[in-house]
């Protein structure tokens, strides 16, 4: 049973990692906890639903289009709910993203209705397969593979490209970055776009696996945030590890203790981390 739980935990964890990276990067450049991050995840899943199910677009094209929409939504969110408030107290943009989150949830409910929807068209993706005594569906397998690829791609972008350097410089010291000529506004925009894109990948994959609902982003966002805090907010590898730890803890806890409290485990972890190691497991200072 343990190996099955670990496998499920890793699948869930890869999605949490993607969400956590977004939180951590946006916090890095903007010192903002983006409350609407879970909504980027949810909206992209619905966007995929619109393309793939309603408009009958090819799977891969629908995927790419939805991830692109996630990026664009990240940029729009930054323009409306973050940039006007960047010189205010940190709580002001936080509250405006709470507003954005409420608005987006309601907007999706208005457009698509509040019923749970399935993204499944081709059931072969849900046919469970056995690998080493562990049952896994192709969607879950792809979730892990695509997540890891997305993380590697992000790593390469951050390490090797000029843009990546600009992002790292801005999150290290925004003022100095501006002094050396980095357009920090553009960097913030790009970071929101990356965060939105990664959340979109997670949202579509999890949505494909477990159906979609306008409220699906709330808990996913919260767990992603917990993962980011666990890894030390601002720390990208930490966020990845945090995501997997949350996924594993949740599934192993649900398997051995009780599945009723599955969602409570992440909350307990968050409290324990914030109290004992507020900088997270891998946080600096």
Partner 1 sequence: MGYLLNILIISGIFGILSVSLNVLCGFSGILSLAHAAFFGIGAYTLGLLTTKLGIPYWTAFMAGGVFAAFFGILIGLPTLRLKGDYLLIATLGFGEIYTNTMTNLDNITEGTRGITGIPSPSLLGIRFDSDATFIILLFIACALCIASASFIKYSPFGKILFAISEDEDGVASLGRNTTRFKVTSIVFSAFWAGIAGSLYASYVGYINPNLFTINESILIFTMVLFGGLGSIPGSLIGAFILVALPEAMRFIGLPNTVAAVIRQMTYGLLLIVIMYFRPQGLLGTVKLR
Chain residues in the site for partner 1 (CB under 8 A): 33, 35, 80-81, 84-85, 88-96, 98-107, 109-110, 114, 218-219, 222, 225-226, 229, 260-261, 263-264, 266-267, 270-271, 274-275, 278
Q: Which of 10/108 has CB closer to partner 1?
A: 108
Q: Closest distance between partner 1 and the C-beta of residue 46, in Å?
A: 14
CA distance 172 to 169: 5
Q: Closest distance between partner 1 and the C-beta of residue 240, in Å?
A: 20
Q: Which of 256/261 has CB closer to partner 1?
A: 261
Q: Closest distance between partner 1 and the C-beta of residue 17, in Å?
A: 18
Q: Which of 92/163 has CB closer to partner 1?
A: 92
* Dihedral of the alpha carbons of 148, 153, 157, 159, in degrees to the nearest 10: 50
Q: Closest distance between partner 1 and the C-beta of residue 22, in Å?
A: 14
Contact between 15 and 198 under an 8 Å Cβ cutoff? The reply is no
CA distance 191 to 202: 17
Q: Which of 172/263 has CB closer to partner 1?
A: 263
From the list 237, 273, 201, the residue with the least C-alpha distance to 25 is 237
Q: Which of 158/274 has CB closer to partner 1?
A: 274
DSSP run (H or E) holding 130: strand 129-131
Bridge partners of 212, per DSSP, are 117
Q: Closest distance between partner 1 and the C-beta of residue 65, in Å?
A: 25
């Amino acid at each position: 049973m343990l190996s099955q739980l670990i496998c499920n935990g890793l699948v869930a964890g890869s999605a949490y990692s993607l969400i956590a990276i977004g939180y951590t990067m946006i916090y890095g450049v903007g010192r903002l906890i983006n409350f609407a991050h879970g909504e980027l995840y949810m909206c992209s899943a619905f966007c995929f639903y619109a393309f793939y199910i309603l408009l009958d677009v090819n799977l891969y094209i629908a995927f790419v289009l939805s991830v692109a929409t996630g990026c664009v939504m990240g940029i729009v969110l930054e323009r409306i709910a973050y940039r006007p408030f960047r010189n205010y107290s940190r709580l002001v943009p936080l509250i405006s993203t709470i507003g954005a989150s409420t608005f987006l949830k309601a907007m999706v409910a208005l457009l698509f209705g509040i019923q749970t929807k399935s993204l499944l068209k081709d059931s072969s993706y849900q046919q469970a397969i056995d690998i080493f005594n562990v049952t896994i569906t192709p969607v879950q397998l792809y979730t892990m593979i695509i997540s890891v690829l997305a993380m590697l791609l992000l790593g390469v972008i951050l390490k090797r490209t000029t843009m990546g350097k600009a992002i790292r410089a801005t999150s290290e010291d925004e003022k100095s970055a501006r002094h050396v000529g980095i357009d920090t506004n553009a960097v913030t925009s790009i970071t929101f776009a990356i965060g939105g894109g990664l959340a979109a990948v997670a949202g579509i994959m999890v949505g494909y696996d477990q159906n979609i609902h306008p409220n699906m982003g709330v808990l996913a966002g919260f767990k992603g945030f917990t993962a980011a805090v666990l890894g030390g907010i601002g720390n990208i590898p930490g966020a990845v590890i945090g995501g997997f730890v949350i996924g594993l803890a949740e599934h192993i806890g649900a398997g051995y203790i009780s599945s009723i409290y599955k969602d409570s485990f992440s909350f307990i972890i968050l409290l324990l981390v914030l109290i004992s190691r507020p900088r997270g497991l891998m946080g600096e200072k």
